[in-house]
Amino acid sequence: MSTAPANDHAGTQRNSAVLITGAGGEIGHGLIEALHREGRRDVVALDLRDMDPALKPLCRDTLVGDITDTSLLERILAMYEVDAIYHLAALLSTRSEFVPEAAHQVNVQGTLNLLRLAADQAASHGRSVRFVFPSSIAIYGLPGAQAKAAAGKVREDQYCTPATMYGCNKLACEHLGRYYSEFYRRLAKDRPRGAAARIDFRCIRFPGIISAFTLPSGGTSDFAPEMIHAAAQGKPYACFVRPDARIPFMTMPDAVDAMLRLAGADAARLSTRVYNVGAFAPSAEEIRGIVSRAFPGAADLITFKVDEDRMGIVDSWPADVDDSLARREWGYAPRHTLATAFSDYLLPNIRARYAR
Ligand code: SER
């Protein structure tokens, strides 16, 4: 593991930083670009792998390492004055089912390590540390396809009985974030008092996210982006869910905007720490229809070869989410509908990408 800081901070004042974990992943790509556009020049990016060379110049520092390595996190604390953390690192839902204990280590223990880092940071500089966390529709667990059809748009407080390790992990982290924000070490005599020296945990339960530029790996909502990217390259694709499978989705730019908007929202307007967001909720067949009209030949290339086990996970996730709280309290307003997601974002960018 190399932590190779860009400069040596020993003996000098710590530099301010916004820390992004899992920074080389799908959301990290979009988030680093957006933070740079917003003028932040103090992004410290942490990932298991060396960062994409295109992103490095947008970061103050890029670190290679593991969030379960507490000595690495201590070094970050020593080097930087962190005022915001976007904790994106996780094993996704399909992969986690093969290695549930490893998923717990990364998804829960890793998050606990970051919450501890944030608490130590807040105590050391005396200001609140904003902790932005992507949770997921995987925290919902509907008992089956029939209940799912009857439930319609699910609210934040319904069906919080996840049926995957990833969903259990994310739900646990939602509660840990709330605990660290409101009750951390509540009986300890030396606990920092006052809102300033605390964590301000804010969390979005994301639906499936579709990017024109990157592909997910190890997720269960991957069938949509995989189908679109395969069709654009003229490759066959066997979709692992039934044609009628339906979950909510959104585009990556809307997901990144949502995180930044929630991060910047006035705390006085927030009645909770956990918000649903969604944008459109097509069935797999509807996605296939749009893709087939966009890419000649795709209709024959896209087939359905249902994996009953992964399908079972999708049947436990809601067909759509009620995101009215997010819209009301912090102005969540996705710019892409299903139609404009394709016409304005996915098709032009994906065509350009594979034409090269
Ligand atoms: N999209 C993720 C997955 O499928 C859920 O958050 O794992």
Residue ranges of the domains in the chain? 15-208+251-276, 212-249+280-317+337-355
Q: What is the CATH number of domain 212-249+280-317+337-355?
A: 3.90.25
Determine whether the shortest distance from the Cβ of 247 to ligand 1 is under 6 A. no
User: Distance of CA 312 to CAs 103, 135, 143, 145, Å?
Assistant: 19, 20, 10, 9
Q: What H or E segment, with its residue span, contains residue 18?
A: strand 15-21
Q: Across residues 328-355, what is the average pLDDT?
A: 97
Residue minimizing CA distance to atom 5 of ligand 1 = 136
Determine whether the shortest distance from the Cβ of 169 to ligand 1 is under 6 A. no
pLDDT of residue 7: 43
Query: Residue 87 Cα, ligand 1 centroid: separation in angstroms?
Result: 15
* Residue 2 dihedral angles phi and psi, to the nearest 5°: -115, 135
Q: Are 20 and 31 contacting, i.e. CB atoms less than 8 angstroms apart? A: yes
* Residue 201 dihedral angles phi and psi, to the nearest 5°: -85, 130
CA–CA separation, 313 and 326 (whole Å): 25
What mean pLDDT is reported for the chain?
94
Query: Residue 206 Cα, ligand 1 centroid: separation in angstroms?
Result: 8
Q: Across residues 56-66, what is the average pLDDT?
A: 97
Q: Are 225 and 237 contacting, i.e. CB atoms less than 8 angstroms apart? A: no
Q: Across residues 319-334, what is the average pLDDT?
A: 98
Is 60 exceeded by the pLDDT of residue 2?
Answer: no
Query: Residues 6 or more apart from 11 whose CB is under 8 A from it?
Result: none
Query: Residue 46 Cα, ligand 1 centroid: separation in angstroms?
Result: 21
* 209-268 pLDDT per residue, tens: 999 999 988 999 999 999 999 999 999 999 999 999 999 999 999 999 999 999 999 999
| Helices 284-294, 223-232: crossing angle, 10 deg rounding | 10
pLDDT of residue 4: 42
pLDDT of residue 12: 60
Is 90 exceeded by the pLDDT of residue 36?
Answer: yes
Is 15-208+251-276 assigned to CATH 3.40.225.10?
no
Determine whether the shortest distance from the Cβ of 92 to ligand 1 is under 6 A. yes
* 231-248 pLDDT per residue, tens: 999 999 999 999 999 999
* Residue 278 dihedral angles phi and psi, to the nearest 5°: -155, 170
Is 80 exceeded by the pLDDT of residue 194?
Answer: no
Q: What H or E segment, with its residue span, contains residue 132?
A: strand 129-136
User: Rounded to two decimals, what is the model's pTM?
Assistant: 0.94
Determine whether the shortest distance from the Cβ of 316 to ligand 1 is under 6 A. no
